[in-house]
A = this chain, B = another copy of it.
């Protein structure tokens, strides 16, 4: 793949990541799901160990969106994209923030890695991995870290 094609692919992938942020902000499950492949596998920040398939993404997104009062903010930092011929991955640090229905404020940085494949002319997410690290001594997930 030449440098020009690579730039084009990276631009397309950046648009996928940005549209996912817009879908979160609007809490729009259908808009979110457009970016996922049917055989999608997720390693999410909270239990369980893994989730797979579009129906599972939908269920999780509906639950999660439903817990928020108002938009869900997502600020993406240090996005790095590696795009090849039909396969790409990217990683970033994402600050997720908003207010929950029970009045709590969510404001946490998560590590995000996304794997994509080009299928039918469009980049689709086949895998994502979102997490926070834990503290060895306490066993607590560190949702208070900042980059």
Contact surface of A with B, Cβ cutoff 8 Å: 1, 41, 43-50, 80, 82-89, 91, 93, 109, 111, 113, 115, 117, 126-127, 129, 131-136, 139-143, 145-147
CB neighbours (8 Å) of A93 from chain B are 49-50
- The answer on a CB contact under 8 Å between A47 and B139 is no
- The answer on a CB contact under 8 Å between A134 and B47 is yes
Shortest distance between the CB of A113 and any CB in chain B (Å): 4
In the complex, the count of this chain's copies comes to 2
- The answer on a CB contact under 8 Å between A82 and B117 is yes
- The answer on a CB contact under 8 Å between A129 and B111 is yes
- The answer on a CB contact under 8 Å between B134 and A46 is yes
Docked Cα-Cα span, A109 to B1, in Å, equals 37
CB neighbours (8 Å) of A1 from chain B are 85-86
CB neighbours (8 Å) of A85 from chain B are 1, 84-87
Shortest distance between the CB of A100 and any CB in chain B (Å): 11
Q: A45-B133, A47-B145, A111-B131 are in contact. List 14 more A-B contacts (CB 8 A).
A: A44-B133, A45-B134, A47-B134, A80-B127, A82-B87, A83-B87, A84-B85, A84-B86, A84-B88, A87-B88, A89-B115, A91-B127, A111-B129, A115-B115
